[in-house]
C-alpha cells in the first residue's frame, strides 16, 4: 500500500468524509491536522497551492480534496492508486 497523507481538520466534514472513504478501502493513512499547526498548513499549501482541507497525497502525488477523491472512486481509479484492485500489471 502506498504512503497516503491527509492534511485535515478534525471538525471539517469534508476531511471526515474523505477519511471515511479511505478507511472503507482499508487504507492506512497519515493524518496531518493543520487546525492549530501553521507550519504544516504552510507545508500543505506549498505542496499543492490549495488552502482548503482536506488535501490528499497518495505516494507523493497530489490527489486533491474530498470531491476529487470521490471522483476518482466514481471513475474506478482509486483502487489502483491505492495499490488494490486494478493495480496489478500481471496478466
Ligand X SMILES: N[C@@H](CCC(=O)N[C@@H](CS)C(=O)NCC(=O)O)C(=O)O
Cβ-based neighbours of 69, under 8 Å, separated by 6 or more: 18, 21, 22, 54, 56, 63, 78
Among the listed ranges 7-15, 19-27, 79-87, the one in contact with ligand X (CB under 6 A) is 7-15
Binding mask 30-69 for ligand X (x = CB under 6 A): ---------------------xxxx----------xxx--
Apex 67 CA angle, 72 and 25, nearest 5: 50
Q: Name the residue nearer to ligand X (CB basis): 13 or 91.
A: 13
Site for ligand X, rule CB under 6 A: 12-14, 51-54, 65-67
Amino acid at each position: 500500500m502506498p504512503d497516503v497523507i491527509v492534511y485535515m481538520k478534525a471538525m471539517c466534514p469534508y476531511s471526515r468524509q474523505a477519511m471515511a472513504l479511505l478507511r472503507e478501502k482499508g487504507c492506512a493513512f497519515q493524518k496531518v491536522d493543520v487546525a492549530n499547526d501553521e507550519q504544516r498548513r504552510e507545508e500543505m499549501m506549498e505542496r499543492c497551492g490549495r488552502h482548503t482541507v482536506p488535501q490528499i497525497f497518495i505516494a507523493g502525488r497530489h490527489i486533491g480534496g474530498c470531491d476529487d477523491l470521490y471522483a476518482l472512486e466514481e471513475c474506478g481509479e482509486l483502487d489502483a492508486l491505492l495499490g488494490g484492485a486494478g493495480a496489478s500489471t500481471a496478466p
